[in-house]
Amino acid sequence: MLMLPACKKNEALVYSNGGKPGALSTTATTLVLDKTKLTDTTTVIKFSFTPPNYGFTAAVTNTLQIDVPGDNWASPTSATLGTKVYAQGYPTAVFNNLLLKLNLPAGTASPVAVRIMTSVSASVAPIYSNVLSLTVTPFNLTSYVYVPGAYEGWSNPGPLEDSLVSVTGNGVYVGIINFTAGNNSFLVVPVKNWNNKYATNSSASPGASTASYPVTYDGNNNFTAPTTPGQYLVTLNINSNTMSIVPADYYSIIGSATPGGNWSTDLFLKYINDGNGNWVGSFSLLAGQFKFRQDAAWSNSWGDISPADGKDATDSSGGNINATAGTHTITFFMPATPFGTSPPVLTTYSVQ
């Protein structure tokens, strides 16, 4: 019998031991960030960790994660570190921005947790370092983007009150825009020129009362607000690259002091998109009285608690507000909300 020798190929197989995470340390466990150091590039906190061990040489991705206690790492803010980078320092502006994405209160000491997530491939579960507990005090960094569009004649950047504002600098910009009939095309620009823009590559049409878009930096198409004219709450999230446009609650005055003097004519206030929650209007009034109301209806309205005492406070059971004849600037405090939101009973106003 003729016997032929069999060939056997021995391959070197590499197995992961599951991975042993690196040990994380930091230069500070309590940190109060100073807004006057916003442009200072000096490192205010530095994180260091030992390389993870998979039992073989591996190309890994290391990500710094920061989260609030109790979130169970469901939605941390993250910063991917460079290849073979095992120490990362942050100046004031950069670290403050990471913290603001967690919606931490400004000027208040808050606990946060920090860890390193290491990934070797999509098919292998990530491993995590030890968790550090820090106490940090961030500061607000209000920032704006601008909203030129057909509703205001495509002036660029458009007036400040028609901007979108991020009061904490967390990448979520919000504002109320009054889109007039047939003038619902608009863009968002990050600075006061046409060099760059937030737009969309989507060709989707808006609905009658709502619209949403994926956002592309320097995208090809304008955004289009809903086809029904009115005041809309516009939210641009540059973290998730999304935009939503929904009807907003709006506010007016009505009474014997308004034109006609018959409690049938609303004078509408304009929301100022600066994060302070003020609705403002300048009106020529008659000698008489007025009240504030929501969405041109009596479901929610406000009068002065004591119109004769000169205090600028209103509530849902207050009396009519007295007005003298002449031009007055009226300011009413009420945060921006989606249409139909139950407002607070007590708020403030001023007549000048």
pLDDT at 14 (0 to 100):
39
Q: What is the mean pLDDT of residues 206-211?
A: 94
Amino acid at site 184: N
Query: Which residues make beta-bridge pairs with 211?
Result: 245
pLDDT for 9 beyond 80? no
Query: What contacts 24+ positions apart, CB below 8 Å, involve 314-317?
Result: 314/346, 314/347, 314/348, 314/349, 315/345, 315/346, 315/347, 316/345
The pLDDT tens digits for 324-338 are 999 999 999 999 999
The pLDDT of 130-146, averaged and rounded, is: 92
The reply to whether 128 falls in a domain is yes
**Domain interval for residue 303:** 251-351
Collapsing DSSP to helix, strand or coil, 37 comes out as helix
Higher local confidence (pLDDT), 258 or 9: 258
- Whole-angstrom Cα distance, residue 112 to residue 266? 48
Q: Whole-prediction pTM value?
A: 0.68
Domain containing residue 197: CATH number: 2.60.40.3620
- The reported pLDDT for the residue numbered 6 is 43
| Residue-averaged pLDDT of the chain | 87
pLDDT at residue number 93: 85
Tell me which of 117, 137, 157 is where a domain ends: 137
Same domain (yes/no): 154, 129? no
pLDDT at 1: 36
Higher-confidence position of 42 and 8 = 42
Q: For residue 311, what pLDDT band results from cuts at 50, 70 and 90? A: low
Q: What's residue 274's pLDDT? A: 86
With beta carbons less than 8 A apart as the criterion, state whether 52 and 61 touch.
Answer: no
- Both 158 and 241 in a single domain? yes
Which whole number is the average pLDDT over 148-159? Answer: 81
Residue at 37 is within a domain: yes
How many domains is the chain partitioned into structurally? 3
